[in-house]
Structure 1
Amino acid sequence: MKKMHTYLKVMTVALLAVLFLAGCGQSSSSKSSNDKTTSTRVLKTAAGKVKVPLHPKRIVTNVYTGDVASLGGHIVGATSLDLASPYLTKAQKKAATNLGLTMKPEAVLKLKPDMIVTSNEADVKALKKIAPVVYIPYGSTGNIEQTATKFGQILNRKKQAADWNAKFKAETKQQAKQQAKRLTKAGITPSKTTIGIYDMQNGKLFVDGAKWGRGGQALTTGLGFKLPAAMQKIDAGPGFQQVSTESLKKYSADWLFFGSTTTGKSSNTQAISDLKSNPIWKSLPAVKANHVVQLPFNKMYYFDPTAVYQQVKLITDAMLKKA
């Protein structure tokens, strides 16, 4: 009888242990399941909704490398134009594989990304089987502070974006104040001065808005210059517009900022020379006053937070040489 009693006690303890372990297993399984369901989230993009990692660890970028880097995103691959930016650190460039001019699927696949960020709509179809693709049309992110906020949402780094914006406001305000003093001393008052941004591509002349790179954000959000009415419409609309030489007076401004790019085999050298010798160009008030600033494309193309901050002084220095 005593043996039977001991046996029952042993069996009871064993049964309780089994039930306890089963419960633990169920809890662990439930926790694992919950972790899995919360490890991704859905973003609304220009190409539709896309499920992305909650905390992306390996990001491949095209155009937005500087924006991702400014918030501490880990970039494992980027296009050659992005990595040519003088505003990226050596460490940031070293950590990323150069993908060349475009993001070829074979090259991207080798990097095992968990998120791809691009301004090229064609990349969505070509790369979506490799990793979630976040498509952001060029020029659609707003001003520099709005851009940081947007990438804070995309990368799930809202705090970093808020911190960056606070730092940008403080430092850029101080930087702009210092540079504005230099400009004012030379007779240039940004708040009362209009600027125009022009771009020559493949022999064609374009007018750009302030959100189309080319130093636009440094000039407006940073230094406080204004766009003429005709350019404000472009800025609020498509962001850029091809114009004819005959229509240049409509897009005239107190200061003209001119850049050029060379794409493929097409050179802009002759087109720029023809423009400068054109009577209509010569008749513009800014041209007559020698208020035309030509800045290096490799420093003005980029529009990420770090680039904008440094462009403020670069632009000021260039203007003072002309004042």
Structure 2
Amino acid sequence: MLRRTRQRTITDSLGRQISLPDAAMRIVATGTNTLGELLTIGIRPVGAGITTMKSQVIYRNKLQHMPDIGLQGSPEQVSLLKPDLILLGNYSEQQLPQLDAIAPTIVYREATSTFERLRYIADLFGRSRAAEKWIDRYEESVRGIRRQLADDYIAGERATVYLVLGKNIYVMGQTGFAATVYESLGFRPTESVYQLIINGRPWIHINVDKISQYAGDRNFVMVPQEEMNVNISSPLQSLIGMLSPSSVHNLHIVEAVWNYDDPLTRERLLTVLPSIFAKDRLAFVPAIDNKP
């Protein structure tokens, strides 16, 4: 006898009606935050778009033996995994029809808050209770860390988050590490950063001479660990040189591995925030993750 599974219809971010099998077990996914959100609610995909993430995210130990399907989901790689459901945070319009032919394919917008994304994904798999449990735990942890850091900063201070990659300098909107800075810690963006946020810009590349236009009362500078050495890198030194003395005084350099805002990263980031605020302005706070 053929096994029948119940189905329900959902509307994805492209407005398409997708028949979603309730019993989907073999899931593949792409997207910067999708994987962390799935793992948070207890779902381990049979494949994911981890081309760059596997060397960057703090939970890379959880990605061992997970097949890489490419940033946007290669139909050839996805097909080999025989998925029941395909979840795309990143996607290619050209490849979408091919993926649709393999399994029900849901495209969803990643440009929303962590809580919104988590609730959306959890609802797809009937795991809303797990999502709400995480959100409650996270908010309680935020209240605790804000009490712990009460003497280190004042809620409402204007802050800016920079990312230095090689010779390039970026200003972050309300995404990645900046999501924690603005949403959880209560910092406010500067007027220039606020314009990025309301315009839906996750980040912007800037020239070093524009630093002062974005600088806040407090500045967080993210740098990849491999680019950080005894001699401060030239772009980083240039950035520091363009800040006012008061801004330099409240400067924190943080490893770029924290520049994600999936639930796994955000929750663990809370545990290292006291170290970030306690370090000297040029101290480098590495991400150490040995958790299974």
TM-score (norm 2): 0.78
* Counterpart Cα distance in 2 of 1:154 and 1:203: 41
> Is it true that 1:81 corresponds to 2:52 in the alignment?
yes
Write out per-residue CA displacement over residues 188-226 of structure 1, whole angstroms, 9 at most, x where no aligned residue: 22x13222111235643321112x21x122222222222
> Is it true that 1:217 corresponds to 2:182 in the alignment?
no
Counterpart amino acid of residue 275 in structure 1? P
Greater fraction helix: 1
* Counterpart Cα distance in 2 of 1:58 and 1:277: 48
After the TM superposition, which residues 22-41 of structure 1 pair with which residues of structure 2 at under 5 Å, given as runs?
A: 38-41=6-9
**Offset at 1:118?**
2.5
**Offset at 1:293?**
2.4
Write out per-residue CA displacement over residues 98-133 of structure 1, whole angstroms, 9 at most, x where no aligned residue: 446663322221211122222323153452222222
Higher Cα radius of gyration: 1
> Is it true that 1:133 corresponds to 2:105 in the alignment?
yes
Cα pair 1:286 1:292 within 8 Å, conserved: no
Question: Which residue among 277, 286, 302 is the counterpart of 2:260?
Answer: 302
Question: Which residue among 85, 88, 91 is the counterpart of 1:115?
Answer: 85
**Offset at 1:65?**
0.5
> Is it true that 1:313 corresponds to 2:276 in the alignment?
no
Counterpart amino acid of residue 119 in structure 1? G
Question: Which residue among 251, 255, 274 is the counterpart of 1:292?
Answer: 251
1:55–1:74 Cα change, 3 Å: farther
> Is it true that 1:230 corresponds to 2:172 in the alignment?
no
* Counterpart Cα distance in 1 of 2:213 and 2:89: 30
Q: Percent identity?
A: 18
Counterpart amino acid of residue 104 in structure 1? S
* Counterpart Cα distance in 2 of 1:76 and 1:302: 22
Cα pair 2:164 2:235 within 8 Å, conserved: no
**Offset at 1:260?**
4.5
Counterpart in 2 of 1:23?
A: none
SS in 2 for 1:192: coil
> Is it true that 1:205 corresponds to 2:169 in the alignment?
yes
**Offset at 1:318?**
1.8
Question: Which residue among 35, 42, 46 is the counterpart of 1:65?
Answer: 35
* Counterpart Cα distance in 1 of 2:141 and 2:23: 29
Counterpart in 1 of 2:159?
A: 195
* Counterpart Cα distance in 1 of 2:97 and 2:172: 29
Counterpart in 1 of 2:96?
A: 124
Counterpart in 2 of 1:168?
A: 138
Compute the RMSD of aligned alpha carbons: 3.2
Write out per-residue CA displacement over residues 272-304 of structure 1, whole angstroms, 9 at most, x where no aligned residue: 9443454x7514126763433232223x13321
Write out per-residue CA displacement over residues 42-85 of structure 1, whole angstroms, 9 at most, x where no aligned residue: 23223633332224311112221001111122311122434443
After the TM superposition, which residues 215-294 of structure 1 pair with which residues of structure 2 at under 5 Å, given as runs?
A: 215-236=177-198, 237-260=200-223, 273-278=233-238, 282-285=241-244, 289-294=248-253
Count of matched residue positions in the alignment of Structure 1 and Structure 2? 271
Cα pair 2:69 2:77 within 8 Å, conserved: yes
Counterpart in 2 of 1:105?
A: 75
**Offset at 1:253?**
0.6
* Counterpart Cα distance in 2 of 1:321 and 1:167: 27
1:96–1:277 Cα change, 3 Å: closer
* Counterpart Cα distance in 1 of 2:78 and 2:97: 14
Query: Mind listing any 5+ residue stretches in structure 2 that lack a counterpart?
Result: 282-292
Query: Mind listing any 5+ residue stretches in structure 1 that lack a counterpart?
Result: 1-27
**Offset at 1:321?**
0.8
